[in-house]
């Protein structure tokens, strides 16, 4: 996938050479000066004329006419050096890899040194390069009949220059691992509901667990009944597909302590139940398992990087269907925790399955819980499509998740849960809780409901209803599933520091 050559020269044959261009230099220096000389000063002239642009993410292609080993040069504008950030660099790499891929090249080279700045060293550049390569070249194959023409995919990157081959290779490996884990989450979310049932998701998790030697537990319906998982079972009542409670356990420490639980909503299709969605609103509900996909993608990354942490992934999975057996508004159900719940809205099913999952995570010794779900349309109204909503009962835990989200380039914003919000969730006259107090503060109500089951355990809730999919292509992906927060979860686990009690 990647090869690193610290020592090389411009005579090396290659289809294309990607070069970063910062600002608009009056005169080239270093390797670019050497390259300009080999090309008889034409690069300087092209920069002056504007045919090669240093504007942020501008792509300029130059043919070399056999004067050097590379057949063409691809310049990537990086803008002003003092404004170049890691995330911008990733996007620039993503855009240029898409450009190279569109030219049907299977291999390209990158001049690493040309992207290094005072703020971004070669380790940062290699990390950004490999993550962007994985993310930007992903596509969902779908189910169209395949052409007989051979596919010309960008499959290999030669990284040229730098000073420390071992450091560069390590950074390339980490960045690519993060990108591939995100792509795995994207692939799951993009699958249609009939191709990804709860059983299919459990089988996928089992394969993942076997590959990385995780401890695997898949609870079947009869086992859930014995454990009293009435919330998950209620959501499953209307379905012909059996539910699954999926558990993957990774032990990176000698003793099972400071356990981090990653809990992901795994609703494989959501009709809304008897609180039926509109004909427009029901389309796309195959993506309602985006939280589960993010957790599985993060576990893949964890399996590759092997952090010295203890992690348990818990995924409650079912579809939410309508039938003569389906649960109804006004039903009262009993969760695994023993708390009773008045059902006011069967389309608020995600928080129900998460209630039993959070309780089961605590049953397995979770000391910290991060749950992630495509939970509410309300978070989209509040924060739009580019920012994940976050809620917490513990400042220190939240700060660690927030820091990971910054590093991953996945924006999140904290929303509040006040005592009056908790009172609304506890406002049922006939049960301990109600699952939907109303539309106002909808995202807050969903989070407050889950928080009733986290109780005193440090907990963060991530609502990715807006960020889990995109309607448009970006520099780092295509329209469809984004794999949102997969990298955040993995980096949070990798960097986690236990909270003093």
Please list the active-site residues.
Answer: 277, 351
CB-neighbour burial class of residue 216 (10 A; exposed 0-12, middle 13-18, buried 19+): middle
Distances (CA, A) of 343 to 269, 432, 474: 19, 11, 39
CA dist., res. 341 & res. 5, Å (int): 62
CB-neighbour burial class of residue 364 (10 A; exposed 0-12, middle 13-18, buried 19+): middle
Q: Is 349 annotated as a binding residue?
A: yes
165, 169, 170, 171: CA torsion to nearest 10 = 100
Q: Is 475 annotated as a binding residue?
A: no
Phi and psi angles of residue 221, each rounded to the nearest 5 degrees, phi first: -60, -45
Residue 375: closest CA among 355, 360, 394: 355
Strands 332-334 and 340-342: antiparallel
Contact 292, 484 (CB under 8 A): no
CA dist., res. 350 & res. 362, Å (int): 18
Q: Is 210 annotated as a binding residue?
A: no
Residue 473: closest CA among 60, 20, 98: 98
CA dist., res. 453 & res. 337, Å (int): 7
CA dist., res. 5 & res. 39, Å (int): 22
CA dist., res. 228 & res. 385, Å (int): 36
44, 47, 50, 54: CA torsion to nearest 10 = 180
The single-letter DSSP state of residue 104 is T
CB atoms within 10 A of CB 49: 8
With left for phi above 0 and alpha for psi between -120 and 50, is residue 213 left, alpha or beta?
left
Q: Is 225 annotated as a binding residue?
A: no
Q: Could you give the angle at the alpha carbon of 392 between the alpha carbons of 386 and 396, nearest 5°?
A: 105
Q: By three-state DSSP, how is residue 70 classified?
A: strand
Distances (CA, A) of 166 to 114, 134, 367: 19, 20, 36
Distances (CA, A) of 263 to 221, 318, 349, 380, 493: 19, 15, 15, 21, 13
CA dist., res. 145 & res. 143, Å (int): 6
With left for phi above 0 and alpha for psi between -120 and 50, is residue 41 left, alpha or beta?
left
Q: Is 51 annotated as a binding residue?
A: no
**Which residues does the annotation place in the binding site?**
265, 270, 288, 347, 349
**Which residues does the annotation place in the binding site for Mn(2+)?**
265, 270, 288, 347, 349
């Amino acid at each position: 996938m990647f090869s690193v050559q610290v020592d090389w020269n411009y005579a090396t044959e290659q289809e294309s050479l990607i070069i970063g261009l910062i600002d608009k230099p009056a005169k080239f220096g270093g390797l670019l000066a050497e390259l300009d000389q080999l090309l008889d000063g034409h690069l300087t002239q092209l920069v002056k004329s504007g045919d090669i642009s240093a504007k942020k993410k501008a792509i300029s292609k130059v043919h070399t006419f056999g004067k050097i080993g590379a057949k063409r040069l691809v310049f990537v504008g990086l803008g002003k050096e003092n404004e170049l950030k890691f995330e911008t660099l990733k996007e620039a790499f993503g855009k240029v890899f898409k450009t190279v891929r569109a030219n049907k090249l299977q291999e390209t080279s990158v001049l690493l040194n040309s992207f290094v700045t005072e703020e971004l060293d070669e380790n940062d550049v290699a990390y950004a390069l490999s993550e962007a390569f994985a993310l930007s070249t992903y596509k969902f194959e779908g189910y169209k009949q395949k052409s007989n023409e051979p596919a010309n995919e960008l499959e290999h990157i030669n990284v040229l220059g730098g000073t420390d081959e071992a450091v560069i290779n390590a950074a390339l490996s980490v960045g690519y691992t993060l990108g591939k884990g995100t792509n795995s989450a994207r692939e799951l979310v993009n699958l249609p509901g009939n191709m990804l049932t709860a059983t299919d998701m459990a089988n996928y998790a089992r394969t993942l667990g076997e590959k990385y030697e995780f401890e695997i537990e898949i609870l079947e319906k009869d086992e859930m009944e014995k454990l009293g998982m009435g919330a998950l079972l209620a959501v499953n009542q209307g379905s012909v597909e059996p539910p699954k409670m999926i558990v993957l356990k990774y032990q990176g420490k000698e003793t099972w302590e400071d356990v981090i639980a990653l809990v992901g909503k795994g609703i494989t299709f959501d009709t809304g139940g008897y609180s039926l969605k509109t004909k427009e609103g029901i389309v796309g509900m195959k993506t309602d398992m985006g939280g589960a996909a993010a957790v599985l993608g993060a576990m893949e990354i964890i399996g590759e990087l092997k952090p010295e942490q203890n992690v348990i992934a818990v995924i409650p999975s079912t579809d939410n269907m309508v039938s003569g057996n389906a649960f109804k508004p006004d039903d009262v159900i009993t969760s695994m925790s023993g708390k009773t719940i008045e059902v006011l809205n069967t389309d608020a099913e995600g928080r129900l399955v998460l209630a039993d999952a959070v309780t089961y995570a605590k049953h397995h010794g979770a000391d910290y819980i991060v749950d992630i779900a495509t939970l509410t349309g309300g978070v989209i109204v509040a924060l739009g499509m580019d920012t994940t909503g976050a809620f917490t009962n513990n400042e220190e835990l939240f700060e660690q998740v927030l820091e990971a989200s910054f590093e991953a380039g996945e924006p999140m914003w904290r929303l509040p849960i006040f005592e009056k919000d908790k009172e609304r969730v506890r406002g049922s006259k006939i049960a301990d809780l109600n699952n939907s107090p109303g539309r106002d503060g909808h995202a807050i109500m969903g989070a407050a409901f889950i928080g009733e089951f986290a109780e005193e355990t440090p907990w963060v809730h991530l609502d990715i209803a807006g960020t889990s999919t995109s309607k448009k292509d970006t520099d780092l992906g295509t329209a469809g599933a984004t794999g949102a927060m997969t990298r955040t979860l993995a980096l949070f686990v990798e960097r986690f520091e236990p909270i003093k009690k």
